[in-house]
């Protein structure tokens, strides 16, 4: 059985553009409904798909790095710039939230919305457990037997996977650069998040250097807040934040980036594994 993931998407709804960034072990389905909502509100958006994510075999995810994923983020930003969008904000969930903060330290943005963005994790097992859950689900959808799956998962028992270690370094690095963020920031956090260190929202709030900042808590939501019961409220709050930004005085800068081949066209849906945590 060939597995296919949601592809990178671009919705064109207006001259204000938003870069949408998905989470670790996730894919563009994390932010697709938010993108459609914003399109109806007159916003354009683009969501890249990171290397090792989507329909990629878990072995590829395990050996991919934050540098691979960051390249996809920059490609997404550049795509919007090349389409002529001069006014760009960025919204990211989980790993995407960390990347949204990183992008805000490096390029001009209208605003930034980190959602459930970790500045630390619940415990040392959190990330390896996410990778193993992704791997198990992938093997099941391949149609493998329980015996085959158990055998395959033995390769994922070492907690020091390149992807996991790289993500922890990324989070640490970004946490030291928060002082460079001076654009309006809306920090979105689910109270039931069982993935991140729950001090993370306050660490971000305290670290960024802008007067226009807030933390919005959602009492009945977990980690992938864009797919949970309070998602409609999240969408509306995000829209209200975006709508009050100053979209007229954003500098025009494109980060240097070599041309790369676009991600192959793929369709269908890869189920989420967060519930297995």
**DSSP state for residue 142 in the 8-state scheme:** T
Alpha carbon distances (Å) from 181 to 100, 188, 256 = 11, 16, 20
262 Cβ contact list (under 8 Å, min separation 6): 8
200 Cβ contact list (under 8 Å, min separation 6): 117, 118, 119, 120, 189
Of 208, 226, 209, whose CA–CA distance to 218 is shortest?
Answer: 226
15/85 Cα distance (integer angstroms):
6
Collapsing DSSP states into helix, strand and coil, what is residue 90?
Answer: strand
Collapsing DSSP states into helix, strand and coil, what is residue 54?
Answer: coil
- Give, for 97, the enclosing helix (H) or strand (E): helix 95-104
Strands across the sheet containing 87-93: 9-11, 43-47, 16-21, 87-93, 112-115, 185-190, 213-218
- 118 and 195 in contact (C-beta within 8 Å)? yes
Which residues form the catalytic set? 94, 193, 223
88/183 Cα distance (integer angstroms):
12
């Amino acid at each position: 059985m060939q597995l296919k993931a949601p592809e990178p998407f671009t919705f064109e709804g207006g001259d204000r553009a938003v870069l949408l960034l998905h989470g670790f072990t996730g894919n563009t389905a994390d932010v697709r409904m938010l993108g459609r909502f914003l399109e109806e509100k007159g916003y354009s958006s683009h969501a890249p798909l990171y290397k090792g994510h989507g329909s990629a075999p878990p072995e590829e995810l395990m050996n991919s790095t934050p540098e691979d994923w960051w390249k996809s983020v920059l490609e997404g930003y550049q795509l919007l710039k090349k389409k002529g969008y001069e006014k760009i904000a960025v919204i990211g969930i989980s790993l995407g939230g960390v990347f949204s903060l990183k992008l805000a330290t490096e390029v001009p943005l209208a605003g930034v919305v980190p959602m459930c963005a970790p500045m630390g994790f619940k415990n040392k097992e959190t990330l390896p457990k996410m990778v193993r859950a992704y791997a198990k689900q992938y093997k099941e959808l391949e149609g493998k037997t329980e015996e085959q799956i158990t055998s395959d998962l033995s390769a994922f028992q070492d907690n020091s996977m390149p992807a996991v270690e790289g993500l922890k370094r990324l989070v640490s690095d970004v946490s030291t650069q928060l002082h460079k963020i001076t654009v309006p920031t809306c920090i979105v956090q689910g109270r039931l998040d069982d993935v991140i260190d729950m001090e993370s929202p306050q660490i971000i709030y305290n670290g960024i250097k802008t007067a226009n900042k807030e933390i919005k808590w959602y009492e009945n939501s977990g980690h992938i807040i864009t797919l949970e019961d309070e998602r409609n409220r999240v969408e509306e709050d995000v829209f209200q934040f975006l709508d009050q930004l100053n979209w007229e005085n954003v500098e025009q800068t494109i980060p240097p980036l070599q041309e790369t081949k676009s991600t192959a066209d793929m369709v269908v849906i890869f189920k989420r594994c967060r519930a297995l945590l």
